[in-house]
Amino acid sequence: KNEVEQSPQNLTAQEGEFITINCSYSVGISALHWLQQHPGGGIVSLFMLSSGKKKHGRLIATINIQEKHSSLHITASHPRDSAVYICAVRSASGAGSYQLTFGKGTKLSVIP
């Protein structure tokens, strides 16, 4: 079982819809990242959070440490939001645990 599970795997939405992508993890973490990956491979970091909620433009990320769950919300979705959204966590265990463990990603398609 992957330590980081995302749902849904694929999501198609109409332009303007409110979108939610979920991430659950099974280990204690020091930080959780939400990343965006467009075709061609480049990854852009959207958020890094360890508690609470962050907002940037139309994007909102929340995390519940007790429930080991995070959500990424996109308000007023637009076709340019179409991408793969990846959740990644940094383990809290051990001094050397600097690498990230990634979910498989959620492929979002926003239709005009």
Residues that bind other proteins (CB under 8 A): 4, 30-31, 33, 35, 40-45, 48, 50, 86, 88, 90, 96, 98-105
Minimum Å distance from CB 21 to other proteins? Answer: 13
Closest approach of other proteins to the CB of residue 76, in Å: 26
Nearer to other proteins, 43 or 60 (CB): 43
Nearest distance in Å: CB 56, other proteins: 14
Instruction: Pick the closer one to other proteins by CB: 58 or 90.
Output: 90
Tell me the two tokens of residue 30. 């020091």
